Amino acid sequence: MIITISKGQQITIPARMREMLGLDIGSKVDMDYEDGKLVIRPVGEELEEFFKLAKKWKPKYNLTAEQMDKMNERMFR
């Protein structure tokens, strides 16, 4: 399937693909680069639950959102 990158440097996941993967508004995906290819994977429900719970936890360390994102990337890759 060929899609076009928009003026805003964005791509749209075609409806057929979204339906096949069970993606809806607000769904999260993981994007990676593997062997010269762009790979987009749906984020599992367990990770969604982790993010919900994490919002409730009092942070032990004073980290920025960017620092936490980097830690999560290392943990889940």
The pLDDT tens digits for 22-75 are: 898 888 888 999 999 999 988 877 666 777 777 776 667 777 888 888 887 877
Q: Are residues 70 and 49 in the same domain?
A: yes
What pLDDT was estimated at residue 17? 92
Overall domain count for the chain: 2
What pLDDT was estimated at residue 14? 93
Q: What is the DSSP letter of 31?
A: E
Distance, CA of 43 to CA of 29 (rounded, Å): 5
Q: What is the CATH number of the domain that holds 25?
A: 2.10.260.10
Q: Are residues 34 and 54 in the same domain?
A: no
Q: Are residues 4 and 37 in the same domain?
A: yes
What pLDDT was estimated at residue 58? 66
Q: Are residues 26 and 56 in the same domain?
A: no
Q: Are residues 20 and 8 in the same domain?
A: yes
Task: Identify the domain containing residue 56 by its residue range.
Answer: 44-77
* Residue 61 phi, psi dihedral angles, 5° rounding: -120, 150
What pLDDT was estimated at residue 59? 66
Q: Are residues 50 and 29 in the same domain?
A: no
Structure tokens at 45: 């429900």
Distance, CA of 42 to CA of 22 (rounded, Å): 8
What pLDDT was estimated at residue 62? 77
Distance, CA of 36 to CA of 31 (rounded, Å): 13
Residue 12 has pLDDT above 90, yes or no: yes
